[in-house]
Amino acid sequence: MQTVTHIADVRARVLAWRRAGERIAFVPTMGNLHAGHISLIELARRHGGRFIASIFVNPMQFGPNEDFTHYPRTPARDAEMLAAAGCDLMFMPDVGEMYAQGATPPTRVEVPEISTMLCGAFRPGHFDGVATVVAKLFNIVQPDVAIFGEKDFQQLVVIRRMAADLCFPITIIGAPTVREPDGLAMSSRNQYLAEAERAVAPAIHAALAEAASALATGAADLAALEHAGAARLAAQGMQVDYFTVRRRLDLEPPVPADRELVVLAAARLGKARLIDNLQVDRSAT
C-alpha cells in the first residue's frame, strides 16, 4: 500500500490506473479505524479494481464547541489495518492541503433541507462540511464507486442527493452498520463513554429495534412510538436529541403510503453524542 499526503500524488496514481483500464473504489474516513470501517473496505474490494481510502479529520464538519481537537487520531494503526485489508492507496492530507484557502472555504456545497433536519438541527453547518469535503474528495479521487456506512444514515442521504444533483459519475453504496455483540453501533466516539455509560449505551439499539418491530407488525401511531423510544433512552440518563420515524428516501415524515422507513435516534451520554438507526419495511395495511 502506498501512502500519500498530496492531491497531485493521488491524481498521478489514479491516472496511471485509469490508463491501465482499472476501476476505482473509494472509502472516505476520519481514521481511528474499527471493524465498521473495515466492513466498508471489504465491500469496496468486492467491486474489484483498485481501492483507495482517505483519512482526514475534516475541521469544516465540526462545530466550534465540538471534538475536532480531541477526535482520536491513530494514523500508524490505521495504515496497518488498511494495508492488511488490501488497500492500494491511503490518502492522508493535512488541513492545509485540503483547504489551501483556510478552514472556511469560499466555495461550499450545501444540500438544502436534508442538511438542516435531525442531526443538522443540532449541529448547524455539519452537513455542509461533510458535503463540501466529500465533493472535494470525489474530484480528487474520481472513483467509480464510493462506499458510506448506513450507521450515518442522514450523511448517506445527503451524499446521495449531492452526487445526483451535481452529476458526479459515481455509484454511491450504503454498507450495513457493524455492531458490538450487545448491539451498540461501532463508533470512534464510543471511546468517550465511561464504563457505566458504556453499559447503558446499547439501550439505543434496543429502543430502535422495539420501534422497528412494532412498525413491521403494523403499528400506525408513529408519535406514540417516538415518544416511547425517547422516554426509554431518557430513563437511562441520556439526553435525547431525537427519536423519530422517517421515510428512507428523503428523511421526511412518512405519509401512510410510505413503506420504506427508518427509525433514527441521537442522544448524548456523558461526553459522547451517539447516533444510530434501523431500517424497516412497514407492512401493508
**Residues forming the site for ligand AMP (CB under 6 A):** 29-30, 36-37, 39-40, 148-149, 151-152, 175, 177-178, 185-188
What is the pairing mode between strands 50-55 and 89-91?
parallel
Smallest distance, Å, CB 174 to ligand AMP? 9
Dihedral sign (CA 217, 222, 225, 230) = positive
Whole-angstrom distance, CA of residue 109 vs CA of residue 111: 7
The C-alpha cell at 172 is: 454511491
The catalytic residue among 6, 37, 47, 126 is 37
Which residue, 151 or 282, is less far from ligand AMP as judged by CB? 151
Judged by CB, which is closer to ligand AMP: 58, or 236? 58
Give yes or no: 37 in active site: yes
3-state secondary structure of 158: helix
Strand partners, 245: 263
C-alpha cell recorded at residue 188 = 470512534
Beta carbons of 203 and 236 less than 8 angstroms apart: yes
Nearer to ligand AMP, 44 or 222 (CB): 44
Cβ atoms < 10 Å from Cβ of 163: 19
d(CA 172, CA 216): 27
Least spacing, CB of residue 209 vs ligand AMP, in Å: 16
Q: Least Å distance between CB 61 and ligand AMP?
A: 9
- Pick between residue 115 and residue 177 the one whose CB is nearest to ligand AMP: 177
Catalytic residue positions? 37
